[in-house]
Amino acid sequence: MKILVVDDEQDMQTLFQQRFRKEIKEGLANFAFANSGEAALQYLQQHHHEAVLILSDINMPGMSGLELLQHIKQKYATPPPVVMMITAYGDSENYNTAMQLGADDFLTKPIDFQLLKEKLKIKVNG
């Protein structure tokens, strides 16, 4: 399973790699990272057939996670990639906008990796 993580914090990459250490080693998950919305779109253009799941931060410099979500949902209608939003701001406004734009899930920081792993399993299997 290919997972694209979009976050402007560089250390998120390290964190994901270590948290999914086993899964990466066992080949269950394959991670790609983008540190901005623009970079994420660029990546998708090049590898859109690969991306199965996108995890995106909302509050980023430049293109926000919500803009990215909108772009993805408009551009890649078939098959629609699974987009999960991750944000430090768990306010209802962000949540509603994300849901309206077609987000598949909404998580708040700090990320509960146990919960994330379960959700990912369901997405992949279901």
The DSSP annotation for 6-47 comes to E-S-THHHHHHHHHTHHHHHTTS-EEEEESSHHHHHHHHHHH
Q: How far is the CB of 37 from another protein (least distance, A)?
A: 10
Q: Which is nearer to another protein, 80 or 113 (CB)?
A: 113
CB of 6 to another protein, least distance (A): 14
Q: How far is the CB of 4 from another protein (least distance, A)?
A: 19
Q: How far apart are the first and last CA of the chain?
A: 13
Q: Among residues 10 and 46, whose Cβ is nearest to another protein?
A: 10
Here the tokens at position 35 are 């540190």
- Find the shortest distance in angstroms from Cβ 109 to another protein: 5
Cβ distance to another protein smaller for residue 89 or 115: 89
Q: For 123, list phi and psi in degrees, rounded to 5.
A: -60, -45
Chain residues in the site for another protein (CB under 8 A): 9, 11, 14-15, 18-19, 21, 58-59, 61-62, 64, 66, 88-89, 109-111, 113
Tell me the Cα Rg of the chain.
Answer: 13
